[in-house]
Structures are given as structure tokens and as C-alpha cells.
Structure 1
Amino acid sequence: MALPPVRPLAERRVAADFLAAGAVSMADAIPYAPARPSRRRAFERLKGADVLRTDGQGRYWLDEERWHGRRSDRRTKAIVALLAVGVAAAVAALR
């Protein structure tokens, strides 16, 4: 049984909270305190990656450019991994 990818889902939900609140610039920064542990970890990861920026007063906003770049990087890594598995399977099938 396959498990859903918890980390990307939690990050998307945190980003969605900021987008829904319109917190996409320093002027629109909001205080944010996620209740769920997975979202707290995602919040910390996104802060560490500078996707979530602070105004220095405990409020945060989503840097959309960095968010889109992070998602694009994740997709690229997934595609490369799938291609590598496909090549390995093809090589194994040809033996």
C-alpha cells in the first residue's frame, strides 16, 4: 500500500493558507501558528528555505517566486528519479 507524500502535501497546505490570506508581500504579512505537527514541520522547512519570509515582528508572508521554484525543483527531481527507475527496469528486462 502506497503512502501519500506527507512532506509536499503539508508544504502545499501551508502555502495555500498564505495564498488564501493574500499574504504574498511584506505589507500583507500575517501571524501564523500551525496546529498540526506536520504543518509545523512544513512551516519550519519553508522558513528555512526562505519561501516564507518574516517582517521581523512575528508575521510571515509567502515569497511566490521561491515557492514556484521549490515546486519546480521537486518536480524535476521526481521526473529524474522516475526516468532512472525506468532505465534500470529496461536494462533488467533486456538481460
Structure 2
Amino acid sequence: MAVVPVRPLAERRVAADFLDAGAVSMADAIAYAPTRPSSRRAFERLKGADVLRTDGQGKWWLDEERWNGRRSDRRTRVVLTMLAVAAAGAFAALR
């Protein structure tokens, strides 16, 4: 049974909202109020990771460098996990 990766999808949707609005610098910051519960949680996670930055006046912008780094880190963890599972499976098959 496949599991849908809800957290990464929600974070991508929030990031896409900022990218679509062109809010990628403090000068282009936008007011943002997510409507879905998953988007609200993703918004909070991205703020906590300093991917979403504030201008100090209630407007937010996406730090693209941190966003790309977060996505890269996630991909690296997924690949390493897949390699570990494959290695464990190969070890079990050879026993």
C-alpha cells in the first residue's frame, strides 16, 4: 500500500503560492493566510525552518536558497533510506 507524502506535498503547495506570487525577496513579501489545515502546518514548519521569512510587518517571502536546500536534504534522506532498505533486503535474501 502506497502512502501519500502529505507533509512534502503541503510544503510544496505553500512554496508554490509564494513562487507564483513572486514573493522571493523582502521587497516582494506578501500577506499569507493558509486556509487548509495541512497548509497551515506546512506554513508553520517552513517558518520554523527559516524558509519563509518575514518583513516584520506581517508579510512573508520565500528564501529560495533555503527552500532548494530543504528539498535537496529531503531527497538525500529518501535515497539513503532506500539504499538501506535495499541492502537489508539483499542481506536477508543471502542468508
Corresponding position of 1:21: 21
The amino acid that maps onto 1:48 is G
Deviation, structure 1 residue 3: 2.1
Per-residue CA shift, 1:35-57, capped at 9, x if unaligned? Answer: 00000000000000000000000
In the alignment, which residue of structure 2 is the partner of 1:64?
64
Amino acid at match of 1:58: G
Q: 1:42-92: CA deviations, max 9, x gaps?
A: 000000000000000000000000000000000000000000000000000
SS at match of 2:86: helix
- TM normalised by structure 1 equals 0.99
Q: TM-score, normalised by structure 2?
A: 0.99
CA distance in 1, matches of 2:74, 2:12: 12
- TM alignment of 1:32-51, pairs within 5 A: 32-51=32-51
Identity across aligned pairs (percent)? 80
Corresponding letter in the other structure for 1:39: S
**Amino acid of the structure 2 residue aligned with 1:88:** A
**Mind listing any 5+ residue stretches in structure 1 that lack a counterpart?**
none
Task: Supply the AA of the counterpart residue of 1:90.
Answer: A
